[in-house]
Chains A and B, each alone.
Chain A
Amino acid sequence: MGRLLDFAGGCVRVLARGNRAYRAWVALLLAMIGTGALAYAHQARLGLIATHMRDQVSWAFYVGNFTFLVGVAAAAVLLVIPAYVYDWKPLKEVVILGELLAISAIVMCLLFILVDMGRPERFLHLAPLLGTPHWPASLLTWDALVLNLYLAVNVAVAAHILYRAWRGRPYDRRVVVPLVLFSIPMAVSTHTVTAFLYSGMAARPYWNASILAPRFLASAFCSGPAVLLVLFQVLRRTTGLEIKDEAISKVAELMAYAMFVNLFLLGAEVFKEYYSGTEHLLYTQYFWSGIGRHRALVPFAWTGLACSLAAFLLFLVPRTRHHPVTLNLGCALIFAGVYIEKGMGLVIPGMTPDTLGEIYEYRPTLTEWLVATGIFGVGFLVFTALVKLAVPILSGRLRASGTAAGAPPALAPGAAP
């Protein structure tokens, strides 16, 4: 117990200290969170009428962000598989960063669901024992289950590795390896279940496609690693954390495959809709070319596609994939492309026109933007704090008192308990 308190105290001290850039960054995040909290207080008082959602488009920006972030969370798998299944050393050393990203992404997912609820104070109705979870029929119940389980697995692995490293000891393989391997199907299932939440709805032809879950996974394997690649480079430059070039180029290579599959599946879906030209075409048409004067999403659709295509080319060509400038540009482009595709491009066309043919053109209100900013602030803050702790612990600069500082990294390959 005393040791845990010591650990917690050490963590707090690390988080409290930092250079000017760190303090400015944290201040910015706190300002974002504060603004978001004020906006949410406004929404809580008025009700969801503070958003532009209405009966015709009853899910929108919040749910779109949720969907996007589930994908980011799932992306940790792209590091876990090569590292643990193929035992590839360069990635094994950084896989924990993927897990920390997953933790922050799921925190954001859960917050986006909470702010989207009409009666957030009744969230316990979803809990086993206390509430009446409608299980197994309701996919949202499944989603809550797998998201929380995936969060728990990642928290457990990260906490174990960091705590052991802090005490100068290698992690226990009997704990970590099974959990990490378990996290692979968990990650896949979080995104699959979220996709099923949509694709199971026969009332919405745009979502009611069996290709949806594979498309979700393919785009997730693009967007999450995009964050990680940029992060690897930032950490390598600003901290002592050693991240090999090989690790970065391997992730970039895997992203190129994922993006090919993502674009191919998109093409398959667009072909099916336009060539067969049934009444289902309407929703795809609303996104890509608009219906009559209703064209709110069209600029987003083509911007998203352009981003994704450009990023694919940058990742495909080895020379641009290896050059830091084009690599980072590719990451930014793919992130934007998937954000549009999963945010505006999935939820809103699924609801427009509505089931009785009415077109309600939705645009998020300022309140929605601010609440979302606040949630992203929380997510970045969680991630910043976790990385701020993980880096000195892993590099041996932060150790339990009585343990030699700068002891060999606890993550040494093949380290036995």
Chain B
Amino acid sequence: MSAGGPGGGGLSRRQFLGRGLAVVAAAAASGCRVEELIGRSFRELSRDDVARVLARAARRQSARFGRPVTVDGAGPLPGVDFGYGLDLSRCIGCRRCVTACVKENNPSRRRPQIQWIKVLELDKARGVDLAHADAYYEADAVPRPGHFYMPVQCQQCRKPPCVKVCPVGATWKEPDGIVVVDYDWCIGCRCCMSACPYGARHFNWAEPDLPADELNPSTHYLGNRPRPKGVVEKCTFCIQRVRHGRYPACVEACPVGARKFGNLLDPESEIRQVMERKRVFVLKEDLGTQPQFYYFYAT
């Protein structure tokens, strides 16, 4: 299922302890979701448990939004390692990727407004100088002369600092390169937000405000499933799409073709063409995070 692999059958130590505790009874009586308090993270579940947990999540989400929601648990395909390419010479800063991402991934719309992609407007003369970046420029006047645009989202690092610092292992890197969060295991300590050099992690400061008619009902357990209050979320390369052979929403939405995506292990993939023909760079390479998100200038 994941990097940790499915747990064994029978009654595990954790289940045993969990069932034996009076806390369970107390929590159940108060209406808490016992399995989220004590129990196991998604990563440790056996295959049977996964099916049960997915069905439960689908039931709950459907009830929450009053319309059918599917919760997919598709695992990584063997021989796949996703990579992302972004052509800075093409990007015009129109932010259609941001809109598409919001529509696809079910983030909170208002208070807090959560967006997984930030498009930075930068001064050509200064280059990639984040201290002078502007993420709040007027979108109807782009591209502005003298400026270039740099979209930043989760860089799906090979050495993700967010995974290292998580005190409960609620976030991890899947074998296909996608860093995910188990929203039912995250304790909301926000260590990962402090550790992330790319501002790619976002916190649900309040109960997410997601109107039922704006919901994308086709979800993945580790991806765009609507999140609860008090947990961290992030870009997952649209795990719900890419594990079924589709492009991430931002790639589809880009009007100038600045965004490239594919399997780094497949010599025919678009991302491999970029890696072989263009000169690429990664953001903040001095921090040793080794992103799987590559910037390049095609022209």
Chain A residues engaging chain B, CB cutoff 8 angstroms: 46-49, 53-56, 58-59, 113, 116-126, 129-134, 137-141, 144, 197, 200-204, 279, 282, 350-351, 353-358
Interface size class of B (residues with CB under 8 A): 35 or more
For B132, the closest partner residue in chain A by CB is: A357
With beta carbons under 8 angstroms apart, the residue of A49, A129, A132, A203 that contacts B196 is A203
- Are A132 and B161 in contact, CB atoms less than 8 angstroms apart? no
Interface string of B11-40 (1 = CB under 8 A from A): 001100110010100000000100011101
Q: Is B188 an interface residue (CB 8 A)?
A: yes
Report B's interface with A, CB cutoff 8 A.
13-14, 17-18, 21, 23, 32, 36-38, 40-41, 44, 111-112, 118, 120, 129-133, 135, 152, 161, 164-170, 185-191, 193-199, 201-207, 228-232, 287-288
* Cβ of A211 to closest chain B Cβ, rounded Å: 19
* Chain B contacts for A144, CB-based, 8 A: 167
A1 to B131 CA separation, bound complex (whole angstroms)? 65
Beyond A55-B199, A132-B41, A140-B189, whether A47 also contacts B207 by CB under 8 A is yes
Contact A203:B197 (CB < 8 A) given known A119-B188, A138-B165, A140-B165: yes
**Docked pose: A40 CA to B195 CA in angstroms:** 27
Query: What are 17 A-B pairs with beta-carbon distances under 8 A?
Result: A49-B205, A54-B205, A55-B199, A55-B203, A58-B193, A58-B194, A58-B203, A59-B190, A59-B193, A117-B188, A118-B203, A126-B187, A129-B13, A134-B166, A202-B197, A203-B194, A356-B198
The residues of B that contact A46 with a CB separation of less than 8 Å are 206
Q: Do B131 and A279 touch across chains, with their CB atoms under 8 A apart?
A: yes
- The interface residues of chain A, by DSSP majority, are classed as loop
Interface centre among A48, A129, A351 (most CB of B within 10 A): A48
Kindly state the separation between the CA atoms of A137 and B191 in the bound complex, as whole angstroms: 12
* Chain A neighbourhood of B194, CB < 8 A: 58-59, 201, 203-204, 350-351
User: Looking at the complex, which one of B40, B187, B195, B288 makes contact with A118 (CB distance below 8 Å)?
Assistant: B187
- CA A144 – CA B131 in complex, angstroms? 35
B288 / chain A contacts, CB cutoff of 8 Å:
202
- Across the interface, B231 reaches (CB within 8 A) one of A118, A356, A358, namely A118
Name the distance in Å between A218's Cβ and chain B's nearest Cβ: 23
Q: Identify the closest chain B residue to A357 (Cβ).
A: B130
Residues of B within 8 A of A203 (CB): 161, 194-197, 287
Known interface pairs A118-B188, A133-B168, A357-B130; A49-B161 also in contact (CB < 8 Å):
no
Residues of chain A within 8 A (CB-CB) of B14 are 129-130
B168 to chain A, nearest CB (A): 4
Which interface residue of A197, A351, A357 has the most chain B CB atoms within 10 A?
A: A357
In the complex, how many angstroms separate the beta carbon of B237 from the nearest chain A beta carbon? 20
Give min CB distance, B184 to chain A, whole Å.
Answer: 9
**CA A55 – CA B199 in complex, angstroms?**
8
Query: Would B169 and A134 count as touching, CB distance under 8 A?
Result: yes
Instruction: Let me know if B191 and A138 touch, CB within 8 A.
Output: yes
Taking a contact as CB atoms under 8 Å apart, the answer to whether A49 and B187 are in contact is: no
How long is the Cα–Cα vector from A351 to B135 in the complex, in angstroms?
Answer: 17
* Closest beta carbon of chain B to A132's beta carbon, Å: 5
Q: Which residues of B contact A137 (CB under 8 A)?
A: 164-165
Given contacts A49-B111, A116-B189, A129-B17, contact A138 B229 (CB under 8 A): no
Listed residue (A119, A144, A358) with the most chain B CB atoms within 10 angstroms of its CB: A119
Chain B: CB-nearest residue to A200: B165
